[in-house]
Homo-oligomer: A and B are copies of this chain.
Amino acid sequence: MDDADTSEIDALFVGNMLAGQLSGQNHLGALVADFAGLRGIEAVTVEAANASGGAAVRQAVLAVKSGLVQTALVVGVEKMTDQTGSPVVSAMASGLDADYEAVHGQTLAGTGALLMRRYMYEFGVDVADFAGFSVNAHANGAENPLAMFQNRLKAERFTMAPPVAEPVSLFDAAPAGDGAAAVIITSSERAADMVPNPVEIAGSAMATDTIGLHDRRDLMVLAAAAKSAQKAMQAAGVTPEDIDLFELHDSFTVMAALSLEASGFAERGEGWKLARDGEIGRNGRIPISTMGGLKARGNPMGATGVYQVVEVAQQLRGQAGACQVPDARIGMAQNIGGSGATAVTHILRR
């Protein structure tokens, strides 16, 4: 709100997944509106599991586009440290199918493990082949003063990490934690009066898939990610070749590989090669996790999708500091919920 010269915010969309379960506090719309000095405005919480933040951005886009809302504030927020241990793991698993997955003890990391095991089996790769994703994320996080982990990771250490849910290890899995991010969305006409360097939302799309892994036609295709990426690119009139950076949902290394494939940056079963070949780095073919990604910046569930959009905007505005991708003009953010049941893709352009 300090960054954008605006006194006219008339709607608030809060992206949050777990405040009810972990803090006993629902109704964040009214609460955040009041605490942010916006008492009285239209305000609501948007939830789509880990994709809540991206979904909140999407609602703000719809609201502004409707003309019934002039300027919207999007806040992604998650406070996960009010509780520790199994309540947090259980709460995170509420983004999966409660009746078919969570009730049997399945967790978010457990679904990551199923996907990673299948990926290794189908495409003949090893655990070590995923190392590049985490090495890149940590290298970028080390340059981001707001990242949760600011340490670099050596590739040879990757396979030595303690397991979380085999084959997912501590170095595959993004860390949950507290966090909040915010972005202001308004019409193109108003934006020019509010900031000297507005960023255009050129494409916005959201899609779903089965909530349970067992109902997927093909476990190795993130159908919601593919659909939302295609729709967003179509709306923006761009192809993967036009995208200068991609803030994807690297909750697990295998999700990074699957997101790259679903979004058209790699063929089926070949997303991991982009990491192996250094193509995901700041000067590579498609830079990802440029501020650390979920893996190193941190993954505060419902806040993550808003972080992604903020980070893409910072890149396009040349405000990414040591993490800056040279001459970034078009960036993409993709937020994924559950084990892929929801995906929200935004394409931003300067």
Contact = CB atoms under 8 A, between A and B. Distances in A.
Interface of A: 17-18, 20-21, 23-31, 33-34, 39-49, 55, 58-59, 61-63, 65-69, 90-91, 93-99, 102-103, 204-211, 215, 223-224, 227, 337-338, 341-342
Given A27-B338, A41-B207, 10 more contacts: A24-B93, A25-B98, A25-B99, A25-B102, A27-B211, A28-B47, A31-B341, A40-B209, A43-B48, A46-B46
A58 B90 CA distance: 31
Contacts of A20: 17-18, 20-21, 47, 91, 94
22 contacts: A20-B47, A24-B93, A24-B94, A24-B98, A25-B94, A25-B98, A27-B47, A27-B338, A29-B55, A30-B208, A30-B209, A30-B210, A30-B224, A30-B337, A30-B342, A31-B341, A40-B207, A40-B224, A40-B227, A43-B342, A61-B66, A63-B66
A23 to B, nearest CB: 6
Nearest to A302: B26
A24 B69 CA distance: 33
Contacts of A210: 30, 34, 39
Contacts of A58: 42, 44
Contact of A39 (B31, B94, B209): B209
Nearest to A338: B27
Given A39-B208, A40-B208, A208-B39, A27 B62 contact: no
A11 to B, nearest CB: 8
Contacts of A99: 25
Contacts of A96: 27
A contacts with B: majority SS: mixed
B90 A208 contact: no
A26 B42 contact: no
From A26, A44, A90, name the one whose CB has the most chain B CB atoms within 10 angstroms. A26
Contact of A62 (B39, B68, B90): B68
A14 to B, nearest CB: 9
A141 to B, nearest CB: 28
Contacts of A24: 90, 93-94, 98, 102-103
B55 A48 contact: no
A23 B208 contact: no
A27 B65 contact: no
A71 to B, nearest CB: 14
Given A26-B94, A30-B341, A46 B44 contact: yes
B42 A98 contact: no
B59 A55 contact: no
A114 B165 CA distance: 50
A68 B68 contact: no
